[in-house]
Structure 1
Amino acid sequence: MKAIVAAELDPTFRDELAEKMKSLDFANCLACGACTAGCAFSDLHPDNDPRKMLRKVILGMREEILSDPFIWYCTMCERCTVECPMCVNIAAVTRAIRGNFRTDSPGFLQKVVDDTIRSGNQMDVQPDEYMETLEWLQEELQAELGDPDYRIPVDVEGADFLFGFNAREVKYYPNELQNILKIFYAAGANYTLSSQKWDATNLALFSGKDEDFWKITEPMLQEVVRLKAKELVVTECGHAFRSVRWGYRTFWKGPQFPIRSILEVLDEWIQQGRIKLDPTKNPEPVTLHDPCNLVRKEGVVEPQRRVLKAAVMDFREMFPNGRWNYCCGAGGGALAMPEYTEQRLIKGKRKVDQLLATGAKIVAIPCHNCMDQFNDLNKHYKLGMKMEHICSIVERALIIPEKEPKA
């Protein structure tokens, strides 16, 4: 970095950023370097040092910070914040700079945001395509379950929960949605899907533009109210879960209701005996990835572990894990920025080393965003491992109760 010239510093930048964030969260920085030590990626490629970025902000180096590659390299995983003695949230600072001071947006990040605002989902699935997919899944499940009366509930008022999911589960992975609905069937769940707003994902969480963010997430929360559901349950997608929970806490002014991850619901059902599993159906060693948005940011740590221990014969932890686990390298919208693919795969090597140390054959990944990264890492580093969502593992172990004959 070039010499710092006091006359070129702009102290108003810090005040502007604080106003945008509605706090002076970053003003407590001690410049101790704990954030850089805690970042799993700070030594992997240039311009990836959170301490340097934050010092530029605090000193008022406006031009330097607005051209700093760190703003887009950062995965916003909050691993640095875990280590910060002053709890400075560098991910929040990064997001605020992205959304309020940068006019560019790498790759197709903003395009996905715009498409979601326009169509209601990030995969631009049209309403007729969505309903046709549900009809097809209904027919498949009728045959698989041997229950011609089975129906997928849509727009049913007063259900115990509205289920919000990821558009990928409709566009590319309907078999995974089928697995989830099969679990709901086995549990006798009283739930509904929405015909109007069903995609809980929101890439504006990463672009940093709050106006865009709320245009996408508010309709999901409004559907809970419209359908009079008791709570919102979100699929295995870390950033979708984070989006609705953060949006609810930050912007929502309507009626209050719980928002839970499907993993919390599965854990509850297993403990209640509502679903029964045969772990011998999953004999291979399984390890678990902790998505940053689900675990570190939203605090869902133990439910997925209890679920896996009930569903598999050999569960193995990565170390570190839980709140201290490493980001997979694809956070912060990195998958939507193909110009940074090299950096993303370099970051992923930290996760690869964790995986190999477990000796596991299957990696349980409760996040669609992370899943795409793990599939890329599996191919790039020739791991030969199987990457699965937890619901798919549970479905394989699921014991379907015999349907009582009609009187």
Structure 2
Amino acid sequence: MSEGTLPLLETEGGRFGIKKPQQRYDLQGDMPDAERVETAMRHFVRDFGAVAATYMESCIHCGICAEACPFYVQTGDPKYSPIWKIEPFKQAYKREVGPFAIFMRALNLKRKVTLKELEDWQELIFDSCTTCGRCTLICPMGIDIASLVGLARHGMHKAGLVPHELWATAERGEREGSPLGATPDVFADRVEWMGDENDVEMHMNLDQADVLVTLSSIEIQKYPQAIAHMAKLLNHMGMSWTFRTDGYEATNFGLLSGNADWQKDMSMKLINAAIACKAQLLLLPECGHAYSAMRWSGANIYGKPLPFKVRHISEFLGEHIADGSIRVKQGLNTTVTYHDPCQVARRGGAIEAPRVVLQALGAEIHEMKENRGMNWCCGGGGGVYSNHRADPLRYKAFQIKMRQVEETEADMLLTSCSNCRITFDDGQAHFHWDKTAHSLLEAVVDNLAD
């Protein structure tokens, strides 16, 4: 069975195996309308700390963030302005806990948010926001709008107001251990299959290893060669490493759906597995939101500093190519453009490592006009790809990415995020485009020196 025979996670059962509803089922639970609103607002208020409150008070309504958002740029619709996406969140703050809240309530200067507004708001924080952070980077007041959207999703989840497919995917992750059906048994089978097919030694469930290797559901189900690539790389380096069936799934749909409890459960599986095998390093796969969930939130979830390092695979490649422990040939003799994944580059700061890798491989790099921290999002992150109803809007946003790539006139497109890759694959099929996004890890493994 070759990789090309695998489905694009888009089957008769629906995207990610979640059946598309005949009508919109975007309410979870049976609570009365008034209770939904009250629950959402209560949890909005609960998430207000000093930092969020400062953000709420800092906006000068300049509108600069709008031009940073692909959904606004492609539609021209002011409702897609990033700062407008947190308006109900802002209303809750001003009415309930802001410095003038008592007057706002007494004089009814800030009316209560309605259920209809919250239902409509789903589109703004779940369908038309990838939490890419481009608006955050450009805001002259330093407002982290992307983080505020993430906090707002917490309240929406508590009120049962998450888009159906996103909620169902996250719930499956909590129930089965993987949002896309890559259960421990499925994962073990795929590891064995990739080991046999590629004649590579696999290390599974070792009691002790220096490196715990994790993967994303998209890689396991759609791009399983990533399993072999990880094994080949670490074997080449002579490292002590392992996959573990009690901690392998790096994708965290709890984070994307706004369910903090599910987010913690998914993260703790990796943390506990790394501790169990005494790992010194938890190696994250080509997945942007896996990087955000563990690299920058893992210690907060654990409640103390993690007893191991956390690195994205692109950081790992750049570091060890630079120190000579990964030896590569200059075999990538072509023009290459690199798509910076938002959560890895802009939100995470891992910007130069991929370029170290590409230079070592002998690539002629054609940078996109907007690159590194200011690169445009592919439009599918933040759970947006999960929501069928977001497809028309997402395709509009993707057209920016297409123009960026084409303007470079590069022969090859590389990235280090499987979620970006599947968004590119989907956009390629939708627009009958002739560009394919390839894996940075794959490029390295294909050019390992003997």
Q: Above 0.5 in TM-score?
A: yes
Match of 2:221, as an amino acid? K
Give runs of aligned pairs for residues 299-378 of structure 1, distance below 5 A: 299-378=349-428
SS of equivalent residue, structure 1 residue 360 = coil
What is the CA deviation profile of residues 38-96 of structure 1, one whole-angstrom value per residue up to 9, with x for unaligned ones? 22331322331123334554345623455333122112111111111222122222222
2: CA distance between counterparts of 1:128 and 1:251? 27
What is the CA deviation profile of residues 169-207 of structure 1, one whole-angstrom value per residue up to 9, with x for unaligned ones? 322322222122112221112211112120111112221
Unaligned runs of 5+ in 1: 1-9, 143-149, 401-407
* Structure 2 counterpart of 1:139, from 182, 187, 196: 196
Query: Shift of the alpha carbon at 1:315?
Result: 1.6
Unaligned runs of 5+ in 2: 1-36, 92-109
Query: Shift of the alpha carbon at 1:338?
Result: 0.8
1:34 aligns with 2:64: yes
Query: Shift of the alpha carbon at 1:294?
Result: 0.7
Is the contact between residue 286 and residue 363 of structure 1 (CA under 8 Å) also seen in structure 2? yes
* Structure 1 counterpart of 2:90, from 24, 47, 58: 58
1:273 aligns with 2:324: yes
Match of 2:317, as an amino acid? L
1:393 aligns with 2:393: no
Query: Shift of the alpha carbon at 1:127?
Result: 3.0
In the other structure, the counterpart of 1:216 is: 266
Is the contact between residue 211 and residue 240 of structure 2 (CA under 8 Å) also seen in structure 1? yes
1: CA distance between counterparts of 2:435 and 2:269? 38
SS of equivalent residue, structure 1 residue 67 = helix
Equivalenced residues, count:
383
2: CA distance between counterparts of 1:351 and 1:190? 39
* Structure 2 counterpart of 1:70, from 117, 124, 128: 124
Query: Shift of the alpha carbon at 1:317?
Result: 0.9
Is the contact between residue 287 and residue 418 of structure 2 (CA under 8 Å) also seen in structure 1? yes
Is the contact between residue 26 and residue 90 of structure 1 (CA under 8 Å) also seen in structure 2? no
In the other structure, the counterpart of 1:48 is: 80
What is the CA deviation profile of residues 4-44 of structure 1, one whole-angstrom value per residue up to 9, with x for unaligned ones? xxxxxx9x998862422434132322222122132233132
* Structure 2 counterpart of 1:84, from 139, 143, 152: 139
Match of 2:167, as an amino acid? Q
Query: Shift of the alpha carbon at 1:126?
Result: 3.5
1:251 aligns with 2:301: yes
Shift in alpha-carbon separation, 1:191–1:33, aligned structure 2, 3 A = same
Match of 1:346, as an amino acid? K
RMSD value, Cα: 2.4
Is the contact between residue 83 and residue 145 of structure 2 (CA under 8 Å) also seen in structure 1? no
* Structure 2 counterpart of 1:108, from 165, 169, 179: 165
Is the contact between residue 214 and residue 247 of structure 1 (CA under 8 Å) also seen in structure 2? no
SS of equivalent residue, structure 1 residue 398 = coil
1: CA distance between counterparts of 2:267 and 2:88? 32
Query: Shift of the alpha carbon at 1:216?
Result: 1.5
In the other structure, the counterpart of 2:17 is: none
2: CA distance between counterparts of 1:114 and 1:58? 28
1: CA distance between counterparts of 2:283 and 2:395? 32
SS of equivalent residue, structure 1 residue 364 = strand
